[in-house]
Amino acid sequence: MNFPEQTPLELSIYQANKAYNGIPALIDAQITLRGGEVHGLIGENGAGKSTLIKLLAGVLSPDSMRVTFNEQPVELKTPQDAYQLGLRFIHQELNIVPSLSVAENIFLSHPYPRIGGVFVNWRKLNQMAQDVLHQLGVYHINVRQNAAQLSSGDAMLMKIASAFIGDDFANLRQTGGLLYIMDEPTASLTNVEADILFDVIDTLRQQGCAVLYVTHRLNELFKIAQQITVMRDGEVVGSHQMTDVTADDLIREMTGREMENVYPPRAVEAKGAIRLEVQNFSTAHVHDINFTLREGEIVGIAGLNGSGRSELLQGLMGADARESGTIYLEGQRLPRLSPTLAWEYGIAYVPEERRSQGLILTQSIAHNITLPHLAETTHGMGLLNHSREHLISQETSHDVQLRAVNTHQRVKQLSGGNQQKVVFARTMVKQARVLLLDEPTRGIDVGAKFDIYSLMRQFSAQGVSILMVSSELDELINMCDRILIMRQHSFVDEVVPTGLNEETLLSLCYGNAGE
């Protein structure tokens, strides 16, 4: 197919309106995507970003919307319409089929290459999958292995690759280019993996494609985006050239309030007694862990994906069986823990994946908050005390500044940030002694992040000791008193964050500092 050299593609949406149950989610929104441009889209959770993307994808029908493609009015009513206009989507959620190979996952929503129209041409399938990964600059993933064996970062790269199947990737310029919509693609990527993606995005842009890039990480946008649209409460509140704005401007526009600092300042210096002491602790996934945690201290754990960070928290929580070692809590030697016992000892836990590990999405806020504390929510004899449950969930959801209709609302109806606040509210029912946080701010917006950081400061001031795993190095540096470095399932180093920068911390994670 020979296309003449075209004017750069342009897709515009005007006057997009959408309401759920009478509550407007999108009010007269408009956005224009142009070929050769990376367009950032930011806004707090619930600002309408997801709704806008769903309208673009044709999976949600708008109350009203006008769409033009290269200045011609077009329909965008079904996913097929979107596909034909050249829209390609990379979603934030990792929906992979663990039992299938990487190649099969990449081809999940595309027809497999066949021999004689009947038999799957496995050789060609694997070859095509591998080619697409190579085009993305990903060489370390074997397409024949099961997706279950991938780290979450590699799984995300695999999902990204699947968006490029079926298009003539090498000849995009001739075909006029495509539009890629990426919804927080870097949420589970390490910095190195994210850099691979940024290179891909840059290549796409140079080939005349348009990219709509949704993220909560502002610094990424300053790296890759040329244009930015800011949303708040369902409306587009700003549209700028990236060179004209600063991060502070964007945060102000997004939240509608002044925010001098993303991180709340520390109130007191933590120098309490030793709260938790872990000696020679090993599980099937971590080896010979030693550390202490003081009262009111916030200690971070940095490391690459797969270094055993999350597994350490699971081990401390008793979700992974202890193989050896001892844990002392306030001098008391703890027995072999189970999650049930851990909660009873005042060890509270915010797991990595709030949707699959933290919450029961179909149940109410109240039920989710009291789940670990049901033993204290009774009249005795195992009978539930509903009024006490109501009171507890009211108080704690107020404390975490949860935005919800009431505590009977189902958790699945809440935005990501509010869902995370429900998981936090759970840790406040009973005064926790140790709080284990795994990626506490993953996938939530700046405003909710600030709330969560403030909560952590508040916990710390009350004397709660916090152990936090995070892939956001910036967060570790700004929130923690000390940072433990984890590599290959053990602690290898400890640093004080004062004066530390992200590059140094990252190279410590890789273990090539000073080499």
Beta strands in 244-342 (DSSP E): 274-283, 289-294, 298-303, 322-329, 332-333
Q: Which one of the spans 178-186, 189-197, 235-243, 336-344 is the region binding other proteins (CB under 8 A)? A: 336-344
Which residue in the set 259, 319, 391, 513 belongs to the binding site for other proteins (CB under 8 A)?
A: 319
276, 328 in Cβ contact below 8 A?
yes
416 is a site residue for other proteins (CB under 8 A): no
Q: How far is the CB of 195 from other proteins (least distance, A)?
A: 27
Nearest CB to other proteins, comparing residues 371 and 492: 371
- The maximal CA–CA distance of the chain, rounded, in angstroms, is 79
Q: Which residue shows structure tokens 């060890």?
A: 347
375 is a site residue for other proteins (CB under 8 A): yes
Segments in 218-338 forming alpha helices (H):
218-224, 247-255, 309-317
Which residue in the set 6, 363, 458, 478 belongs to the binding site for other proteins (CB under 8 A)?
A: 363
In angstroms, the Cα distances linking 140 to 143, 219, 505 are 9, 27, 24
Which residue in the set 72, 118, 331, 383 belongs to the binding site for other proteins (CB under 8 A)?
A: 383
Q: How far is the CB of 452 from other proteins (least distance, A)?
A: 18
Would you mind telling me the total number of residues written for the chain in this entry?
515
DSSP codes joined into one string, 143-182:
TTSBGGGS-HHHHHHHHHHHTTTTS-GGGHHHHT--EEEE
Q: How far is the CB of 22 from other proteins (least distance, A)?
A: 6
Nearest CB to other proteins, comparing residues 159 and 482: 159
Which residues between 6 and 25 bind other proteins (CB under 8 A)?
21-23
Which residue in the set 51, 130, 227, 377 belongs to the binding site for other proteins (CB under 8 A)?
A: 377
Which residue in the set 27, 120, 262, 361 belongs to the binding site for other proteins (CB under 8 A)?
A: 361
Q: What is the dihedral of CA 407, 411, 416, 418, to 10 degrees?
A: 10
Count of residues engaged in binding other proteins, rule: CB under 8 A: 49
Q: How far is the CB of 294 from other proteins (least distance, A)?
A: 25
How far apart, in whole angstroms, are the C-alpha atoms of residue 26 and residue 231? 10
Nearest CB to other proteins, comparing residues 254 and 480: 254
How many Å separate Cα 279 from the centre of its chain? 32
Nearest CB to other proteins, comparing residues 51 and 227: 51
372 is a site residue for other proteins (CB under 8 A): yes
In angstroms, the Cα distances linking 456 to 148, 244, 267, 480 are 33, 34, 11, 10
366 is a site residue for other proteins (CB under 8 A): no
Nearest CB to other proteins, comparing residues 115 and 405: 405
438, 352 in Cβ contact below 8 A?
yes
Q: Which one of the spans 95-103, 122-130, 174-182, 466-474 is the region binding other proteins (CB under 8 A)? A: 95-103
Residue type at 150? L
Which residues between 103 and 162 bind other proteins (CB under 8 A)?
108-109
Q: How far is the CB of 251 from other proteins (least distance, A)?
A: 20
Cα–Cα nearest to 296, from 278, 320, 273: 273
Q: Which one of the spans 61-69, 94-102, 126-134, 262-270 is the region binding other proteins (CB under 8 A)? A: 94-102
191 is a site residue for other proteins (CB under 8 A): no
**427, two tokens:** 């840790």
Nearest CB to other proteins, comparing residues 99 and 171: 99
280, 248 in Cβ contact below 8 A?
no
How far apart, in whole angstroms, are the C-alpha atoms of residue 286 and residue 303? 13
DSSP state of 59: S
Nearest CB to other proteins, comparing residues 208 and 417: 417
Which residues between 63 and 92 bind other proteins (CB under 8 A)?
79, 91
User: Which residues of the shown chain bind other proteins in the complex (CB under 8 A)?
Assistant: 21-23, 79, 91, 93, 95-100, 108-109, 317, 319, 338-340, 342-344, 349, 351, 356-363, 367, 371-372, 374-375, 377-378, 382-384, 398, 403-406, 410, 426
